[in-house]
Amino acid sequence: MNNHLMPEHTKPSFDRPRQRMVNEQLIARGINDKRVLAAMLSVPRHIFVDSALAARAYQDCALPIGCGQTISQPYMVARMTQLLELKGNERVLEIGTGCGYQTAVLSRLCRRVYSIERIEALHRRARQNLRMARHANVMLKCGDGLEGWEEYAPFDAIIVTAGGFASDLWLQQLKPGGVLLLPEGKSGTHRLVRRRKQAHIITEEYFDACTFVPLLKGVNHH
Ligand code: SAH
């Protein structure tokens, strides 16, 4: 039976594995933004994966979400979110909605999240997942994130959850002082980079080496 359809009293509780995930995978590795930790503790990660994988949702790894894509490892979601330094009033653009998990975490930490996914089937699933997790401050669209989302620009922050090279439009669609965070580089050798759009210059900081699914052009009507 689909876990989401089970009567409340027979549902397995995921509170304990989620608490352990936060302690062992996040706090132990240096995630220390209290708001990020609270968001990671409150978003039910298991509802964003297929019910057959729910028992593995809190493990220290990425998991398949269909269409050859993955939900990022909990640590990577927390790490990237922490690097955005959200205070609560921001409008954030996410490129690569996937199953919507990172979107849900962001939505608890800022005013509004705009998230773009290029694979239609995943876009639809994310919409269902986010409805189930009751996120009202999220706008989703199926499209090519390399184009940004002009209609709602400028953003306080842009986070890219697929690996590749930045589109020029992203910096253009940031507010002054805004940050762009992405796993940059060729396939298999990405590194997190944070660029900040200052008045006349762009500052750049490099962080963790990581591996993400590729950032691809165009829309997939799958
Ligand atoms: N944040 C997601 C991670 C999903 S993996 C989560 O928590 O589940 C990255 C996603 O980026 C994939 O679903 C992939 O289809 C999508 N993607 C890749 N290139 C894209 C593009 N140009 N525009 C929008 N989405 C893209």
Does residue 101 sit within a domain? yes
Does residue 217 sit within a domain? no
Per residue in 72-128, pLDDT tens? 999 999 999 999 999 999 999 999 999 999 999 999 999 999 999 999 999 999 999
Q: What is the pLDDT of residue 1?
A: 47
Does residue 220 sit within a domain? no
Ligand 1 atom closest to the Cα of residue 77 is 7
Ligand 1 near 215 CB (within 6 A): yes
**Catalytic-residue membership of 51:** no
Does residue 179 sit within a domain? yes
Answer yes or no: is pLDDT of 186 > 60: yes
Task: Residue 45: name the closest of 86, 1, 102, 89 by CA.
Answer: 102
CB atoms within 10 A of CB 146: 20
Per residue in 188-211, pLDDT tens? 899 999 999 998 899 999 999 999
Q: What is the domain-level CATH number for residue 191?
A: 3.40.50.150
Does residue 92 sit within a domain? yes
Neighbouring residues of 99: CB distance < 8 A, sequence distance ≥ 6 = 48, 49, 65, 71, 122, 125, 126, 129
Does residue 219 sit within a domain? no
Neighbouring residues of 30: CB distance < 8 A, sequence distance ≥ 6 = none
Does residue 216 sit within a domain? no
**Which of 13, 42, 72, 167 is an active site residue?**
72
Q: Are 107 and 126 spatial neighbours (Cβ–Cβ below 8 Å)?
A: no
Residue 150: give the domain boundaries. 3-210
Classify 57 as helix, strand or coil: coil
Q: Are 219 and 143 spatial neighbours (Cβ–Cβ below 8 Å)?
A: yes
Per residue in 34-68, pLDDT tens? 999 999 999 999 999 999 999 999 999 999 999 99
User: How many Å lie between the centroid of ligand 1 and the Cα of residue 99?
Assistant: 9
Question: Which residue shows structure tokens 């994310």?
Answer: 126
Q: What is the mean pLDDT of the chain?
A: 95
Neighbouring residues of 215: CB distance < 8 A, sequence distance ≥ 6 = 95, 96, 145, 146, 160, 162, 163, 164, 165
Q: Are 108 and 43 spatial neighbours (Cβ–Cβ below 8 Å)?
A: yes
Does residue 218 sit within a domain? no
Tell me the H-state helices in the chain.
15-20, 34-42, 74-84, 101-107, 120-132, 168-172
Answer yes or no: is pLDDT of 2 > 60: no
Element (H, E) at 113: strand 112-117
Q: How many domains would you assign to the chain?
A: 1
* pTM check: above 0.85: yes
Ligand 1 near 183 CB (within 6 A): no
Q: Furthest-apart CA pair in the chain: how many Å?
A: 58
pLDDT band at 134 (very low <50, low <70, confident <90, very high): confident
